[in-house]
């Protein structure tokens, strides 16, 4: 069932963004009629490689061929015309248009007079849905469609354009078990129809259930390509992780104090379910798990950005009112959000303004914010965090990612919190700054601050945390102490190979 | 057919049409002269101008833009068209219509180019051109006005006669609505307008020529406003420098009441036309009911608020229902979650592992 | 745009140049009575532009301000006739503005409706209520002591009585916008609603209050308008909303929120008033002056975009040339 000649061949692909080498030496061979898993940790370069195929990025070096000829890069339109279709984790449909029209937009079947042939379009869409084995009404608008069904619509669109290569970028991350099962069925049908399917997933059970071959990437390069048959999960995890913990994590030993944050039975329907844990003063607790496992949602609910359905949150022994970030702030909770640019910073505003925005009343005298106090505050934190900047009036949009993150940290540390929640504190920042952020967090914990950290980077989790909470699909799967947390254990608990997970459950 | 009928009844137009019928019925019951031949004729004349502009505005609104300059375009086009046919000999009606529409298209081109190619916010652009076109008209007229005795009888007569009991002005409006409706419903490029308004980045991604479609929508809106200028000229038998001032917001209101979403993506020409009919009919019926006519504006505003609030409530309900449904679905599945399949259970039959170490 | 010649500074320079040029070409222009006339002419626009700046900075808009002003003006007339006390009437008028603003704010922040659509609706609603209150009549029997405030000058100066009100309110609004926590919040919300929520800023409450303040000031503008014309009319302040918004945007406030200065807006209102007056004195017909308003409004959005594209083009060409060089 695998042809001799690959349909797509990527050899030695390299791509840099600014100073970051996203791809160094990526290779991939796809054959017609196979489902091919692309695996790797966050930041291994999978997404960049997929975006090359999607026509979003262009490689700096290396060779990409399709059907034996050169693949024309850098245009999403040309990618589609060459037979590549990408199904993103969260598709972007037209909410007001019918499903049929979403499938055929711009290519609607027309009558002899050039009018859109609604009946035929409906039929063809229904036929495509039938071919995929799903029961969707082609006439209903896309608004309110579940993510699983939105993906099906995108796949139907790919089928209608006769795509030969269908790339699915973590399609099951946001799906329930039976939705995922249906998607796997669809992928098998596509394979049996002769397409080459690329399947990116962190759920190894799915990979083993679905895929024929797998390629593992690490640090921007392909490390291995193998058949799935004869390979076991532990092996794959080792290829993905593949390094010793050589990075130095400046873990300060501290004595833990009283419980600062107590969360019990926190539940939001369909997002996270019955989550309970404690964070003590002087302790760093890490939330590990896959993207989409509900970790960010939990900390957002704790801080009061989102409402939750049931459960309780206590800070220093007193309940925290739900959905009220100001109350959380007043009680000494600070949240460094996941998305620095959208949630953490006011990009056009200056370093000083960003640093001071949460503590303005403290800086005001008779209602007037004292610019001098504001600048002194910013200068103090800029020095403490060794911020590299061109003046405190510089807009933060001109800073590097690492320095932007320092401004966000400064802004929240300036509130003098008792509990610091950090969501992906080192995402997308350079190695040097990463180490500085780690040192800072350890130091703060050493002074008795309670730290709750969400991180998708295993070395960071293992190097920093006193305790590791592993989430999977909205549930707390394991609680591991520092000495029992290993890369394999965390990975396996996060991907659902529960047999290997640690014994501890929620406190 | 059956599905078509269901769509009409479930659509956003049905309640507007229903409200219109109620207003007509109540008013006629109280004052039978309301729908006499003359009464009906006057009512339709009153609807035609706003209706025509609402047809054009629909094109712009579904794209998530807005055209506030339509009132000024109306004034400018009425004056240019009137000037073109004014005089002793008097040009034909067709010339007036042609001039009016061309003026409108040119104005739409200006708006569309600024919005489509410079990517400027439509609200600011068309607010600016509202003033500019109004000023241009004032400069051209120099404070003079065109009176009925300066206009050829073909133009003036056009405003007071009809065909099959329906005024010519309304025929123009209906023709534009039919053409516009068919275009938006059946042409690929017409469907593109909805796609752009529904999700602009996705529209770019699937390769819709967004700038060209934007330009088209503004030209249609301009053409309708230009045509409405000629209708204005015919209806009032003249034009002065105040023509069209303040028309823009009632036109937008008519569209929104008729179900055209001000945030783009949905709404039909039929709905916009019904919206215009409802608002205008309310106004005329108030005087037929001897209610002081000045309540009309308050009721128009209130209707607009009711329409957007109702749309919002319906949307929120649907979204909440979808969320609850999804949560229920998830819970059911969680309860019946299948055990994870054993590693490699369904892998196709390869002979052992053929691992290749990639050269690094 | 270079930092030295920011938009608000450019508008201020334009204002100075216009006044200087006007003084040279037309002695009447710089005369005290004309300057007083300009101030009086722009009074209501300036008043409403102050809170409108805040609203647009947060990414909202209020098109109902002129109708609110007119309704407050009608309430002034009605309450004066009903109570015989001007103090009561003024309070009622400003209170009307507060209620109008609160209705807008409720619909936008509680029901989550778009402010553009909402205020198009209340624009019609409030204007309709004007007619409902006064019919086609006008109230013109305000006490002379009060109407003198509206159209005569402060003794010994060419300045109308509205001047101190404008100066005080402009300073208050400027101070709040640029120096207080509320002002910082306004900038923050305009730059990123999401980041503002994460920073604990009460976004909905802030916006609601801004709508209320806008209504209150529009109500005050309605009183000023009535006193200026010594009558309350249901068609008062017609079309002012667009002039206000044009001034605010020309003053350098971004329609997308987050950018702007109060003195840019104040300069813009004064500049537009001066240009209108100057052209009027030169015999340009009043209706044609709208070209200036519209043209400047367009310029305020076109120039930055064109400048940015031009500099991007030059940068690209510079790189291409550098790459081509050996």
Q: Determine the average pLDDT of the residues in A226-241.
A: 82
pLDDT in tens, B146-204: 888 787 878 788 878 878 878 888 999 999 999 999 999 999 999 999 999 999 988 88
Is the CB of B193 inside 8 Å of chain A's CB atoms? no
Cα B44-B49-B51 angle, rounded to 5 deg = 75
CA torsion angle for C132, C136, C141, C142 (degrees, to 10)?
A: 50
% of residues, chain C, pLDDT over 70: 97
Q: Determine the average pLDDT of the residues in C205-224.
A: 96
Q: Do C181 and A345 touch (CB under 8 A)?
A: no
Contact A266, A434 (CB under 8 A): no
**A255 vs A445, A446, C67, CA distance in Å?**
10, 8, 66
Q: What is the mean pLDDT of chain C?
A: 88
Q: Which of A80, A96, A231 sits opposite B194 (nearest CB)?
A: A96
Quote the tokens at residue C186: 């306004």
Measured CA to CA, the distance from residue C190 to residue C175 in angstroms comes to 18
Looking at the DSSP bridge assignments, the partners of residue A25 are A221
Q: Would you say residue C306 lies in a domain?
A: no
Q: Would you say residue C313 lies in a domain?
A: no
DSSP assignment letter at A456: S
Residue C53: phi, psi to the nearest 5? -60, -45
User: Strands A318-319 and A213-218, how do they pair?
Assistant: unpaired
DSSP assignment letter at A26: E
Measured CA to CA, the distance from residue C178 to residue C174 in angstroms comes to 6
Q: Which of C121, C125, C301 sits opposite B125 (nearest CB)?
A: C301
Identify from C179, C181, C257 which residue to disrupt to test chain A contact, counting A C-beta atoms within 10 A and taking the largest count: C181
Q: What is the 3-state secondary structure (H, E, C) of C48-71?
A: HHHHHHHHHHCCCCCCCHHHHHHH
What ipTM was assigned to the predicted interfaces of this complex?
0.82
**Domain total for chain C?**
1
Supply the range of the domain harboring residue C78.
Answer: 7-292
Q: Do C198 and A337 touch (CB under 8 A)?
A: yes
**A507 vs A263, A275, A277, A315, B174, CA distance in Å?**
10, 10, 6, 16, 71
The C-alpha R_g of chain B, in whole angstroms, comes to 26
Residue B123: phi, psi to the nearest 5? -60, -45
Measured CA to CA, the distance from residue B120 to residue C301 in angstroms comes to 7
- E strand residue ranges, A385-465: 419-423, 450-454
Which of these CATH numbers, 1.10.3210, 1.10.3470, 3.40.50, 1.10.8, describes B14-317?
Answer: 1.10.3470
Q: Which domains does chain A have, with CATH numbers?
A: 8-93+145-241 (3.40.50.300), 247-332+417-507 (3.40.50.300), 350-416 (no CATH)
Nearest-by-CA chain A residue for B349: A229
CA torsion angle for C9, C13, C16, C19 (degrees, to 10)?
A: -120
Confidence grade of residue B223 (pLDDT, cut at 50, 70, 90):
very high
Is the CB of C205 inside 8 Å of chain A's CB atoms? no
pLDDT in tens, A298-331: 999 999 998 899 999 999 999 999 989 999 999 9
Residue A335: phi, psi to the nearest 5? -125, 115
Contact C32, C158 (CB under 8 A): yes
Q: Would you say residue C311 lies in a domain?
A: no
Measured CA to CA, the distance from residue A156 to residue A145 in angstroms comes to 15
Q: Is the pLDDT of residue C179 over 80?
A: yes
Measured CA to CA, the distance from residue A349 to residue C192 in angstroms comes to 10
Q: What is the CATH number of the domain that holds C78?
A: 1.10.3470
Q: Is the pLDDT of residue A147 over 90?
A: no
Q: Is the pLDDT of residue A410 over 80?
A: yes
Q: Would you say residue C319 lies in a domain?
A: no
Measured CA to CA, the distance from residue B237 to residue B146 in angstroms comes to 8
Measured CA to CA, the distance from residue A284 to residue A282 in angstroms comes to 7
Q: Do A226 and B319 touch (CB under 8 A)?
A: no
Quote the tokens at residue C253: 């406030």
Contact A10, A71 (CB under 8 A): no
pLDDT in tens, C113-136: 889 889 988 988 999 899 888 887
Rounded to a whole number of angstroms, the distance from the CA of A250 to the nearest CA of chain B is 31
Q: Which of C181, C191, C200 sits opposite A348 (nearest CB)?
A: C191
**C299 vs C7, C64, C302, C307, C308, CA distance in Å?**
11, 25, 5, 11, 14
Domain chopping of chain B, boundaries = 14-317
Q: Do A177 and B333 touch (CB under 8 A)?
A: yes
% of residues, chain A, pLDDT over 90: 31
Is the CB of C192 inside 8 Å of chain A's CB atoms? yes
Of the ranges A187-201, B23-37, B268-282, which one carries the lowest mean pLDDT score? B23-37
Q: Determine the average pLDDT of the residues in B88-103.
A: 84
Contact A238, A488 (CB under 8 A): yes
Q: Which residues on C lie below 8 Å from B256 (Cβ)?
A: 117, 120
Q: Do A96 and B331 touch (CB under 8 A)?
A: no
Rounded to a whole number of angstroms, the distance from the CA of C130 to the nearest CA of chain B is 9
Quote the tokens at residue A244: 């010793």
- What local confidence, expressed as pLDDT, does residue A241 receive? 73
Nearest to residue A219, comparing CAs of A246, A248, A250, A249? A246
Q: Do A96 and B207 touch (CB under 8 A)?
A: no
Q: Which residues on A lie below 8 Å from C175 (Cβ)?
A: 368
Q: Which chains touch B (3 or more CB pairs under 8 A)?
A: A, C
Contact A480, A489 (CB under 8 A): yes
Measured CA to CA, the distance from residue A158 to residue A116 in angstroms comes to 20
Q: Do C192 and A345 touch (CB under 8 A)?
A: yes
**B128 vs A11, B76, C261, C288, CA distance in Å?**
55, 15, 21, 14
Q: Which of B322, B338, B347 sits opposite A229 (nearest CB)?
A: B347
- What local confidence, expressed as pLDDT, does residue B263 receive? 84
Q: What is the largest CA-CA distance in chain C?
A: 88
More confident: C318 or A198: A198
Contact B159, B97 (CB under 8 A): no
Buried b vs exposed e over B36-56: b needs ≥16 C-beta within 10 Å?
eeebbbebbbbbbbbbbbbbb
Nearest-by-CA chain A residue for C185: A357
Q: Which chains touch C (3 or more CB pairs under 8 A)?
A: A, B
Phi-psi region of A200 (alpha: psi -120 to 50; beta: other; left: phi over 0): beta
Q: Would you say residue C271 lies in a domain?
A: yes
Nearest to residue B153, comparing CAs of B230, B89, B231? B89
Contact A474, A272 (CB under 8 A): yes
Helix (H, G, I), strand (E, B) or coil at C47: helix
Helix (H, G, I), strand (E, B) or coil at C35: helix
Nearest to residue B357, comparing CAs of A239, A115, A464, A303? A239
pLDDT in tens, A421-476: 999 888 767 667 778 888 889 888 988 899 999 988 787 888 889 999 999 888 89
Q: What is the DSSP string of A103-127?
A: HHTTS--B-TTS-B-HHHHHHHHHH
Rounded to a whole number of angstroms, the distance from the CA of C313 to the nearest CA of chain B is 15
Rounded to a whole number of angstroms, the distance from the CA of A64 to the nearest CA of chain C is 26
Quote the tokens at residue B255: 């569209």
Q: Do C118 and B250 touch (CB under 8 A)?
A: no
In chain A, which among 233-292 make CB contacts under 8 A with chain C?
A: none
Quote the tokens at residue A180: 């995922």
Contact A385, A227 (CB under 8 A): no
Place of tokens 């960071």: A460
Q: Do B304 and C129 touch (CB under 8 A)?
A: no
Helix (H, G, I), strand (E, B) or coil at B32: helix
pLDDT in tens, A282-306: 999 999 987 778 899 999 999 999 8
Quote the tokens at residue C229: 């014309």
Q: Determine the average pLDDT of the residues in B288-295.
A: 74
Q: Which of C120, C238, C291 sits opposite B132 (nearest CB)?
A: C291
Looking at the DSSP bridge assignments, the partners of residue A262 are A278, A314
Is the CB of A347 inside 8 Å of chain C's CB atoms? yes
Q: How many residues does chain B have?
A: 360
- What local confidence, expressed as pLDDT, does residue B4 receive? 55
Nearest-by-CA chain A residue for B62: A96
Q: Do C287 and B120 touch (CB under 8 A)?
A: no
Q: Which of A343, A357, A368 sits opposite C194 (nearest CB)?
A: A343
Q: Do A347 and C191 touch (CB under 8 A)?
A: yes
Q: What is the DSSP string of B79-115?
A: HHHHHHH-SSS---HHHHHHHHHHHHHHHHHHHHHHH
Measured CA to CA, the distance from residue B120 to residue C302 in angstroms comes to 7
Quote the tokens at residue B316: 């929120």
pLDDT in tens, A57-116: 888 888 898 988 888 888 888 888 888 988 887 788 998 999 999 999 888 898 888 899
Place of tokens 């600062």: A260
Measured CA to CA, the distance from residue B282 to residue B29 in angstroms comes to 15
Q: Give the number of other CB atoms < 10 A from CB of residue C242.
A: 22
Q: Which residues on A lie below 8 Å from C179 (Cβ)?
A: 368-369
Q: Which of C125, C135, C289 sits opposite B135 (nearest CB)?
A: C289
% of residues, chain B, pLDDT over 90: 34
Quote the tokens at residue A319: 């309940």
- What local confidence, expressed as pLDDT, does residue B123 receive? 84
Measured CA to CA, the distance from residue C98 to residue C244 in angstroms comes to 19
Q: Determine the average pLDDT of the residues in A387-403.
A: 85
């Amino acid at each position: 069932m695998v042809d001799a000649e690959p349909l797509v061949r990527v050899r030695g692909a390299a791509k840099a963004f600014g100073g970051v080498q996203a791809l160094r030496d990526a290779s991939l061979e796809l054959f017609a009629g196979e489902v091919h898993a692309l695996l790797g940790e966050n930041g291994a370069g999978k997404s960049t490689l997929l975006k090359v195929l999607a026509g979003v990025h262009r490689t700096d070096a290396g060779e990409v061929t399709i059907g034996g000829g050169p693949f024309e890069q850098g245009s999403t339109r040309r990618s589609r015309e060459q037979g590549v279709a990408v199904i993103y984790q969260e598709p972007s449909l037209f909410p007001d248009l019918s499903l049929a029209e979403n499938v055929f937009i711009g290519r609607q079947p027309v009558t002899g007079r050039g009018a859109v042939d609604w009946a035929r379009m409906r039929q063809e869409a229904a036929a495509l849905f039938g071919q995929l084995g799903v029961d969707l009404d082609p006439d209903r608008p896309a608004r309110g469609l579940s993510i699983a069904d939105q993906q099906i619509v995108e796949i139907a669109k790919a089928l209608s354009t006769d795509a030969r290569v269908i790339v699915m970028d973590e399609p099951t991350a946001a799906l329930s078990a039976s939705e995922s099962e249906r998607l796997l069925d669809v992928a098998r049908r596509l394979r049996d129809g002769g397409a080459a399917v690329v399947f990116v997933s962190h759920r190894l059970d799915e990979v083993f259930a679905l895929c024929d071959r797998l390629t593992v990437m690490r640090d921007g390069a392909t490390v291995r390509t193998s058949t799935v048959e004869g390979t076991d999960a532990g092996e794959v995890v080792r290829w993905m992780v593949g390094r010793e913990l050589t990075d130095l994590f400046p873990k300060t030993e501290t004595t833990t104090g009283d419980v600062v944050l107590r969360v019990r039975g926190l539940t939001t329907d369909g997002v996270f379910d019955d989550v309970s844990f404690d964070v003590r003063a002087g302790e760093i607790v890490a939330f590990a798990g896959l993207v989409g496992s509900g970790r960010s949602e939990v900390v957002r609910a704790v801080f009061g950005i989102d409402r939750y359905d049931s459960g309780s949150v206590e800070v220093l022994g007193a309940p925290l009112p739900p959905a009220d970030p100001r109350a959380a702030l007043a009680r000494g909770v600070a949240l460094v959000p996941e998305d620095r640019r959208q949630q953490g910073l006011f990009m056009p505003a200056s370093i000083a303004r960003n640093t001071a925005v949460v503590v303005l009343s403290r800086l005001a005298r008779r209602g007037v914010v004292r610019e001098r106090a504001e600048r002194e505050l910013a200068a103090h934190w800029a020095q403490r965090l060794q911020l590299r900047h061109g003046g405190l009036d510089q807009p933060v949009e001109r800073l590097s990612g690492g320095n932007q993150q320092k401004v966000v940290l400064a802004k929240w540390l300036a509130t003098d919190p008792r509990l610091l929640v950090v969501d992906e504190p080192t995402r997308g920042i350079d190695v040097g700054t990463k180490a500085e952020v780690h040192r800072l967090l350890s130091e703060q914990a050493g002074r008795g601050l309670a730290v709750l950290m969400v991180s998708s980077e295993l070395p960071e989790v293992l190097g920093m945390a006193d305790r590791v909470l592993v989430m999977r699909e909205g549930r707390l799967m394991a609680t591991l102490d520092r000495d029992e947390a290993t890369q394999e254990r965390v990975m396996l608990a996060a991907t659902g190979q529960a047999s290997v997970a640690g014994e501890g459950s929620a406190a | 057919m059956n599905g078509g009928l269901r769509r009409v009844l479930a659509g956003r137009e049905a309640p507007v049409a229903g409200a219109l019928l109620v207003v007509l019925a109540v008013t006629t019951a109280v004052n039978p002269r309301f729908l006499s031949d003359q009464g009906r004729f006057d009512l339709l004349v009153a609807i035609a101008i706003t209706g025509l502009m609402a047809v054009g505005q629909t094109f712009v609104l579904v794209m998530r833009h807005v055209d506030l300059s339509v009132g000024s375009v109306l004034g400018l086009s009425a004056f240019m068209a009137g000037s073109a046919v004014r005089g002793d000999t008097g040009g034909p009606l067709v010339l007036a219509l042609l001039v009016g529409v061309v003026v409108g298209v040119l104005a739409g081109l200006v708006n569309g180019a600024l919005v489509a190619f410079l990517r400027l916010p439509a609200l600011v652009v068309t607010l600016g051109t509202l003033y500019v076109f109004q000023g241009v008209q004032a400069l051209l007229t120099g404070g003079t006005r065109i009176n009925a005795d300066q206009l050829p009888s073909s133009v003036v007569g056009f405003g007071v006669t009809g065909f099959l009991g329906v005024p010519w002005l309304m025929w123009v409006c209906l023709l534009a609505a039919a053409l516009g409706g068919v275009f938006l419903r059946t042409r690929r490029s017409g469907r593109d307008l909805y796609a752009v308004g529904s999700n602009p980045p996705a529209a770019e991604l699937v390769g819709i020529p967004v700038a060209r479609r934007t330009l088209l929508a503004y030209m249609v809106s301009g053409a309708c406003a230009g045509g409405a200028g000629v209708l204005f000229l015919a209806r009032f038998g003249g034009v002065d420098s105040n023509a069209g001032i303040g028309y823009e917001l009632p036109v937008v209101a008519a569209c929104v009441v008729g179900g055209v979403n001000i945030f783009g993506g949905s709404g039909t020409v039929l709905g916009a036309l019904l919206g215009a009919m409802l608002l205008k009919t309310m106004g005329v019926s108030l005087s037929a009911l001897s209610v002081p006519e000045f309540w009309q504006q308050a009721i128009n505003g209130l209707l607009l608020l009711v329409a957007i609030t109702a749309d919002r409530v319906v949307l929120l309900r649907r979204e909440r229902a979808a969320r609850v449904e999804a949560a229920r679905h998830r819970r059911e599945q969680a309860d019946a979650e299948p055990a994870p399949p054993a590693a490699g259970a369904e892998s196709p039959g390869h002979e052992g592992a053929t691992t290749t170490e990639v050269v690094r | 745009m270079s930092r030295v010649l920011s938009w608000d500074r450019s508008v201020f320079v334009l204002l100075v140049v216009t006044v200087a040029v006007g003084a040279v070409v037309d002695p009447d222009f710089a005369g005290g009575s004309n300057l007083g006339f300009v101030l009086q002419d722009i009074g209501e626009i300036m008043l409403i532009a102050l809170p409108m700046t805040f609203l647009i900075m947060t990414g909202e808009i209020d098109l109902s301000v002129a109708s609110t002003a007119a309704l407050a003006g009608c309430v002034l007339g009605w309450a004066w006739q009903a109570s015989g006390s001007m103090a009561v009437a003024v309070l009622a008028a400003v209170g009307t503005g507060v209620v109008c603003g609160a209705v807008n704010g409720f619909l936008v922040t509680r029901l989550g409706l778009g402010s553009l659509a909402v205020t198009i609706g209340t624009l019609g609603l409030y204007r309709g209520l004007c007619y409902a209150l006064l019919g086609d009549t006008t109230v013109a029997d305000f006490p002379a002591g009060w109407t003198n405030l509206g159209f005569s000058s402060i003794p010994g100066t060419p300045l109308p009585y509205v001047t101190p009100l404008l100066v005080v309110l402009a300073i208050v609004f400027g101070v709040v916008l640029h120096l207080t926590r509320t002002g910082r919040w306004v900038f923050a919300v305009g730059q990123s609603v999401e980041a503002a929520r994460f920073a604990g800023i009460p976004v909905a409450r802030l916006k609601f209050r801004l709508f209320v303040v806008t209504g209150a000031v529009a109500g005050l503008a309605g009183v000023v308008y009535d006193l200026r014309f010594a009558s309350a009319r249901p068609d008062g302040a017609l079309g002012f909303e667009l002039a206000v918004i044009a001034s605010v945007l020309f003053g350098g406030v971004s329609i997308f929120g987050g950018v702007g200065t109060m003195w840019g807006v104040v300069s813009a209102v004064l500049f537009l008033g001066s240009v209108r007056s100057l052209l009027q004195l030169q015999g340009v017909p009043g209706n044609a002056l709208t070209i200036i308003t519209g043209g400047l409004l367009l310029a305020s959005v076109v120039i930055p975009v064109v400048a940015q594209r031009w500099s991007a083009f030059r940068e690209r060409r510079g790189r291409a040339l550098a790459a081509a060089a050996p």
